[in-house]
Structure 1
């Protein structure tokens, strides 16, 4: 038999899906700004390798559109900030934060989750709504969002908010930190997509509808027996 179980509230789903296009717009407009001054590179044996080649910008049709990139970035940063602040406020009021914040055992169990996903470990550690790795990742992304806001404001108003730029280590350091956080978002997004695929359709559907289908009775027993036989 199967039964339907509520997993994600409408509030959590709303903030999740609103944040996705906002973050994409922020990254896209940020690339337009960065393209105007491709300052960062990695030096290997004296040869500088830039993060993005001219072919990359040509593929995405990103010419020098600094003014347009800044206009989009500075507009949508407010929507990104408001959505993030409301999300944190919602988790605090609703009590969802209890299932998001890492526990003492989370870092140990996160390693076990990683080994399980790599098919090195057969047994998945006990988990609630979110496993240990998810707790760490979702908390980290909130802290990263706060970091992007602080460094972004330091870059946006380096004179008026000179004290904020000073806290970030100066204008150039704030810009580098802002760029590093953006790279972190991209890595998080790629890993998140892989995790969604591994988790399967039932998990993805719950993020859309808020409900997941739980197998009970005979089907659940057969599933457990099948999993035990593989151990």
Structure 2
């Protein structure tokens, strides 16, 4: 027997669908800014294993020579990203949604079971609740990453006016590297998140669109049939 069950309230869905394109555009405009000083790579000494990003990448997507345009877009979207994040956190605190979202002491052990389940190494079904342990850790981490992106972004945007913040983050170079690492983290989260959405199927995706999902519930148990009264159980009327 199938039944509609509410899963995500309207506010959560709005915050989600506003944040997704805003963050994606911030990453894209951030690459325009990064082009002007693309110093990061994976390697050691004069050996480079991976460079972020090769010159051919900039040319293929016409990202080169757009520093001013990238900064303009990045700083405008920064305010939308910050406001949306603050409203989301405020809503989860006021509505009590944080209770389902915040990790508990069992979340890390459960997250390992979720990984094993997704890899096909565990056959037992996952706990039937709004967010499992892996989701609690991932979604809470993204919120903390958002705060980190705002702080590191402000530190490299106004290193003189906010010298105390830039110093606390290790200086300008460290703050810029931290900002870049957080961006890589968002990209990895996007890849895993979208893969999980595809794996979960339409029912899970519909919950973030319409707010409800269809779940299988057992049919109600039939009522017990009335037992006919036996002749011995009938009390004869009292004689006058």
TM-score by length of 2: 0.88
CA distance in 1, matches of 2:21, 2:153: 19
Paired position in structure 2 for 1:226? none
Greater fraction helix: 1
Q: How well do the aligned residues superpose, as a CA RMSD in angstroms?
A: 1.2
Paired position in structure 1 for 2:156? 155
CA distance in 2, matches of 1:45, 1:122: 47
Moved over 6 A (4+): none
CA distance in 1, matches of 2:45, 2:149: 32
Paired position in structure 1 for 2:96? 95
Deviates more, 1:163-172 or 1:39-48: 39-48
Paired position in structure 1 for 2:185? 184
Q: Residues 215, 124 of structure 1: CA spacing in aligned structure 2 closer, same or farther, 3 A cutoff?
A: closer
Paired position in structure 2 for 1:227? none
CA distance in 2, matches of 1:21, 1:69: 16
Paired position in structure 1 for 2:132? 131
Paired position in structure 1 for 2:9? 9
> After the TM superposition, which residues 1-231 of structure 1 pair with which residues of structure 2 at under 5 Å, given as runs?
1-44=1-44, 46-48=46-48, 49-217=50-218
Q: Which runs of 5+ in 2 are unaligned?
A: 220-240
TM-score by length of 1: 0.91
Q: 1:189-214: per-residue Cα shift (whole Å, max 9, x none)? A: 00000111111110001100001011
Q: Which runs of 5+ in 1 are unaligned?
A: 219-231
- Residue 58 of structure 1: SS of its match in structure 2? helix
CA distance in 2, matches of 1:124, 1:166: 48
Kindly name which structure, 1 or 2, has the bigger radius of gyration based on alpha carbons. Answer: 2
Deviation at 1:54, TM superposition (A): 1.3
Q: 1:120-177: per-residue Cα shift (whole Å, max 9, x none)? A: 1111342410010000000000000000000000011000000000110001000000
CA distance in 1, matches of 2:24, 2:93: 26
Deviation at 1:52, TM superposition (A): 1.2
CA distance in 1, matches of 2:123, 2:181: 35
CA distance in 1, matches of 2:87, 2:170: 28
8 Å contact from structure 1 (residues 102, 132) kept in 2: yes
Q: Residues 6, 73 of structure 1: CA spacing in aligned structure 2 closer, same or farther, 3 A cutoff?
A: same
Q: 1:35-66: per-residue Cα shift (whole Å, max 9, x none)? A: 11111112257323412111222222211111
Paired position in structure 1 for 2:224? none
CA distance in 2, matches of 1:80, 1:61: 25
